[in-house]
Amino acid sequence: MSLFLVLLAKLLPLYAVIALGYIAGRILKVQKESIAILLLYVLSPVIVFHGAFTTELNLGIVLLPVFFLVSAYVFCAIAYTVGGKVWSDSTRNIYAYSAATGNTGYFGIPVAMALLGPEVLGQVVLATMGLVLYESTLGFYITAKGTYSARESLRKLAGLPSLYALLLGLLMNAGSVHLPESYFSLADNFRGAYSILGMMIIGLGVSGIKTLRCDWKFIGLSLFTKFLLWPLYALLAVTLDTHFWHLLTPSMHSIVILLSLTPMAANTVVLATALNVKPEKAALGVLSTTLFALFYIPLVLSFLA
């Protein structure tokens, strides 16, 4: 029970930031569209570059992002197929995007640090790079297709700076390029701004809802995918690796489990807003899974510990 309370206390401040976003939207009339563009085209590329540039690269640890990248592609394809049988509008696209990724940056990393210690930070960051690569490629394309044609979606994908930031960061990392100390201080400031604005946009998205019309199929399928299918899939992968493959270390197994428990990515609201693909529905979905995760994540982790 003590572990449950410790984890709960670490998550509560994130919910306060969501509440501030809601207040900013309702009272101060802050526009979520401007915040979404700022996150997607300015802050996110810096965060992606920094993660790729500073993470220690080796053959073993590269398996983590590969695992999450391949898994995300599979989940997206399955969700897109299932979504086509449930919805006839762009809800299918936003469900497919969100089913394949999670809020690994705001939830996964803090929880991993709390449970496994700071020494796993590099492994966790690199693991999330697999999901970042998914979000910057197939995820972005699937979401854009909810509003735009295939050609327009590809054109928007080609103009997404996070993809180039990821490649540049990896190349500079592999080439052992050194940057001045002032860069790292600036990157820390960007990371803080990204975290705060990324959580606030959930509240901003909810504040823009004029009439509360909840798509229970969307909420139900999202909860089922994020909190049942993903953890079971991760547990199966860890079990198989433990008994047969022996490719990952025990700490990597823990990271796989932890990241599989995260709620819908806050970037779901960012993309849905920037591309005009059911932003209110995306905000409700992210909020619902985030509220559920407040108790679900500490409960499951305290049970597995």
Q: What mean pLDDT comes out for the span 35-50? A: 84
Choose among 78, 70, 118, 124: nearest CA to 97.
Answer: 78
Tokens of 204: 């901003």
Q: Is 236 or 6 the better-scoring residue by pLDDT? A: 236
CATH number of the domain bearing residue 126: 1.20.1530
CB 104 within 8 A of CB 134: no
Rounded CA-CA distance 115/124 in Å is: 12
Please give the full DSSP string across 120-145, using - where no structure is assigned. Answer: GHHHHHHHHHHHHHHIIIIIHHHHHT
Q: Give the per-residue pLDDT at 81.
A: 95
Rounded CA-CA distance 252/256 in Å is: 6
Whether the CA torsion 155, 187, 59, 73 is positive or negative: it is negative
pTM of the model: 0.82
Taking residue 17's Cβ as centre, other Cβ atoms within 10 Å add up to: 18
Q: Mind listing the pLDDT tens digit for each residue in 138-153?
A: 888 888 887 777 777 7
Q: Mind listing the pLDDT tens digit for each residue in 168-195?
A: 988 998 888 999 999 999 988 887 888 7
Domain that holds residue 193: 2-304
Task: Name the residue with tokens 């490629």.
Answer: 137
Q: Give the per-residue pLDDT at 243.
A: 92
Rounded CA-CA distance 181/184 in Å is: 5
Rounded CA-CA distance 14/167 in Å is: 30
Q: Quickly state the pLDDT bin for 23 (edges 50, 70, 90).
A: very high
Query: What is the C-alpha end-to-end distance of the chain, expressed in Å?
Result: 11
Q: Give the per-residue pLDDT at 252.
A: 86
Cα three-residue angle 156-104-241, rounded to 5 degrees: 110
- Inform me whether the pLDDT recorded for 1 exceeds 60: no
Rounded CA-CA distance 293/305 in Å is: 17
Cα 13 from chain centroid (whole Å): 18
The count of residues in the chain is 305
CB 148 within 8 A of CB 141: no
Q: How many structural domains is the chain composed of?
A: 1
Q: What mean pLDDT comes out for the span 269-280? A: 79
- Inform me whether the pLDDT recorded for 22 exceeds 80: yes
Looking at this protein, which amino acid is placed at residue 67? F
DSSP state of 283: H
CB 284 within 8 A of CB 219: yes
Q: Mind listing the pLDDT tens digit for each residue in 52-104?
A: 888 777 666 778 889 999 999 999 999 999 999 999 888 899 999 999 998 88
Q: Give the per-residue pLDDT at 294.
A: 81
Q: Quickly state the pLDDT bin for 112 (edges 50, 70, 90).
A: confident
Q: What mean pLDDT comes out for the span 43-48? A: 84
